[in-house]
């Protein structure tokens, strides 16, 4: 007992001694640039704190995170405690956050939670989405699995093509057009198919990778299976020249030459921008440069634009969204070059009702997909209620495919791909197609499932029944044909019993299993099958 007391005494005196540098640190001027680096599934993330302290302990400056770049609205340093008030935007949701940190020796230790998005959001009213519709399936640790504490040290940020903080108070005002209907462009009569950089490469993109992907799209058979577009997401942008013309960054020495190369392979090229002054990744956006940017892209030979709300939420209200997207829709139209117009604003503000009216061919309906079973299910579940909005030329977009990225099993990826086909979703692959394994190849190149997705009648499927852990999706393919997917959400294998009458289907349907590639013959009243945990049964059913 006595020895425990003695040890406590020793411990306390050690703490008292080690407290001395803390006290000294209280007087530390934290003015300067502090950098925290953290590994994440998106590659290394960098957080930069540019701090300026005054004699009274007030702090000003700016904070840069992978998703935001903005001024410190108020801040202080008291003893060893730092408090910063910042504004952060995530999926159109502008929030003021208080970030707390501590001075520990020569480090600043910040709580990561306040610097990161909390949960994948989604449109209000959609269960499982963080947009207000109920508890998020993806709730818990932030999607990037950051540790609780980020350690920043004095340092120099990595060289980057990001465009830097914006002073929103002095940002020139952009006039929004009166609402009108932008004529349809006649593109995307079936859901767009292609490939996009984001899910695998995030902002680490360059000319060489895109050329390699284009080659692989041809060699793997993906192009011939219908994947036509190669879309460069965020991270290609450089600076504007003296005429306001946006240049690609040094990773893309000649965008026109790259487009020519992609076209020479029988593929098309897409780009990404934002109606805000910055993209979600902090690169130059199109705010106030809509016409000139659309003309530049047309001159390069761009065939597809993904237009992402991001920092536009700092400039406009949700009610302005239609006019904001119309402005770019009209700018694209004015170029005379056909471009698929992909709206990305996470399904807010009832986009499914006005998306087609601004010239949009597809619109995101949820927050970002992540490479997990729960996130995938969350996004696809939100599609059901929106089924009536899809039609040739105008599609709900539950986000890009994660097939082949490693976060799900092959069984789960088959379910992912099947559900996207049932929902007439764009099939935009997001894996490294230069290194396809056998399972990924079988999934992405399953022509029978692709044919369901690409069915010309363009009727989006719905979730029509639930049976224990099983849910059943049905899609009419016209001409008396249907696609049916039974998905086992449970972990264990389970049996599904399909009764045509219960599903409103006629008796005596001819059936084909689209994963086994096998005709099942004429099935009088229904079908029974065992389905693996997280697995899918996908059938094509045909009346005579």
* CA distance linking residue 37 with residue 49, whole number of Å: 12
Comparison of 270 and 458: residue with beta carbon closer to ligand GLA: 270
Comparison of 191 and 458: residue with beta carbon closer to ligand GLA: 191
Comparison of 198 and 515: residue with beta carbon closer to ligand GLA: 198
Characterize the bridge pairing of strands 268-273 and 229-231.
Answer: parallel
Shortest Å, Cβ 96 to ligand GLA: 20
Q: Which tokens hold the place of 454?
A: 């690409």
Comparison of 279 and 415: residue with beta carbon closer to ligand GLA: 279
Dihedral of CA atoms 64, 69, 74, 77 in degrees, nearest 10, equals 0
- Cβ 279 vs Cβ 310: under 8 Å: yes
* Residue 132 DSSP one-character state: T
Q: Which tokens hold the place of 403?
A: 């097939």
* CA distance linking residue 429 with residue 157, whole number of Å: 32
Shortest Å, Cβ 413 to ligand GLA: 19
Footprint of ligand GLA (CB under 6 A): 198, 233-234, 279-281, 308, 344, 368
Shortest Å, Cβ 233 to ligand GLA: 5
Shortest Å, Cβ 36 to ligand GLA: 20
- Cβ 462 vs Cβ 388: under 8 Å: no
Shortest Å, Cβ 199 to ligand GLA: 8
Comparison of 101 and 194: residue with beta carbon closer to ligand GLA: 194
Comparison of 80 and 231: residue with beta carbon closer to ligand GLA: 231
Q: Strand pairing partners for 37?
A: 46
Q: Which tokens hold the place of 295?
A: 């003309």
The CB-side HSE value for 171 (13 A sphere, CA atoms) comes to 21
The CB-side HSE value for 176 (13 A sphere, CA atoms) comes to 17
Task: Provide the annotated active-site residues.
Answer: 308, 368
Single out the residue of 86, 290, 81, 22 nearest to residue 174, CA to CA.
290
Single out the residue of 110, 216, 176 nearest to residue 321, CA to CA.
176
Shortest Å, Cβ 480 to ligand GLA: 38
Q: Strand pairing partners for 154?
A: 34
* CA distance linking residue 414 with residue 25, whole number of Å: 56
The CB-side HSE value for 221 (13 A sphere, CA atoms) comes to 10
Comparison of 420 and 515: residue with beta carbon closer to ligand GLA: 420
Q: Which residues contact 515 (CB under 8 A, 6 or more apart)?
A: 414, 418, 446, 449, 536, 537, 538
Shortest Å, Cβ 240 to ligand GLA: 19
């Amino acid at each position: 007992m006595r020895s425990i007391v003695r040890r406590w005494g020793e411990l306390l005196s050690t703490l008292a001694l080690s407290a001395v540098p803390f006290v000294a640190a209280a007087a530390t001027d934290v003015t300067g640039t502090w950098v925290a680096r953290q590994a994440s599934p998106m590659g290394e993330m960098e957080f930069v704190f540019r701090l300026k302290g005054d004699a009274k302990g007030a702090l000003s400056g700016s904070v840069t995170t992978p998703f935001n770049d903005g001024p410190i609205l108020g801040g202080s340093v008291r003893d060893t405690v730092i408090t910063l008030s910042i504004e952060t935007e995530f999926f159109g949701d502008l929030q003021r956050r208080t970030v707390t940190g501590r001075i520990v020796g020569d480090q600043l230790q910040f709580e990561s939670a306040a610097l990161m998005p909390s949960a994948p959001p989604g449109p209000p009213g959609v269960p499982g989405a963080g947009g207000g519709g109920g508890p998020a399936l993806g709730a818990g640790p932030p999607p990037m699995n950051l540790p609780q504490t980020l350690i920043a040290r004095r340092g120099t940020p990595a060289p980057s093509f990001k465009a830097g903080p914006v002073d929103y108070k002095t940002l020139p005002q952009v006039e929004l057009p009166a609402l009108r209907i932008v004529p349809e462009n006649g593109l995307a009569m079936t859901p767009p198919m292609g490939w996009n950089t984001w899910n695998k490469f995030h902002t680490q993109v360059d000319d060489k990778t895109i050329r390699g992907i284009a080659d692989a799209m041809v060699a793997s058979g993906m192009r011939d299976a219908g994947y036509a577009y190669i879309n460069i997401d965020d991270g290609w942008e450089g600076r504007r020249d003296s005429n306001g013309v946006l240049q690609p960054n040094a990773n893309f020495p000649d965008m026109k030459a790259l487009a020519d190369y992609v076209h020479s392979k029988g593929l098309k090229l897409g780009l990404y921008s934002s109606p805000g002054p910055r993209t979600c990744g902090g690169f130059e956006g199109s705010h106030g440069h809509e016409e000139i940017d659309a003309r530049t892209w047309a001159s390069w030979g761009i065939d597809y634009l993904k237009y992402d709300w991001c920092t536009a939420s700092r400039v406009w209200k949700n009610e302005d969204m239609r006019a904001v997207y119309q402005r770019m829709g009209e700018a694209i139209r004015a170029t005379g070059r056909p471009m698929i117009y992909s709206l990305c604003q996470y399904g807010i503000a009832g986009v499914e009702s006005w998306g087609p009216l601004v010239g949009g061919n597809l619109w995101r309906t949820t927050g970002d997909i992540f490479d997990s079973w729960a996130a995938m299910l969350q996004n696809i579940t939100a599609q059901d209620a929106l089924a009536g909005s899809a039609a040739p030329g105008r599609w709900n977009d539950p986000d890009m495919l994660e097939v082949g990225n490693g976060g799900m099993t092959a069984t789960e990826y088959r379910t992912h791909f099947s559900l996207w086909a049932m929902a007439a979703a764009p099939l935009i692959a997001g894996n490294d197609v230069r290194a396809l394994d056998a399972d990924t190849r079988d999934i992405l190149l399953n022509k029978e499932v692709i044919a369901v997705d690409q069915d010309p009648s363009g009727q989006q499927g719905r979730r029509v029944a639930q049976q224990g852990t099983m849910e059943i999706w049905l899609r009419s393919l016209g001409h008396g044909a249907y696609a049916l997917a039974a998905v086992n959400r449970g972990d264990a294998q389970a049996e599904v019993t399909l009764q045509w009458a219960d599903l409103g289907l006629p008796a005596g349907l001819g059936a084909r299993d689209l994963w086994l590639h096998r005709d099942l013959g004429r099935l009088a009243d229904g079908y029974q099958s065992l389905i693996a945990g997280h697995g899918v049964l996908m059938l094509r059913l045909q009346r005579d």
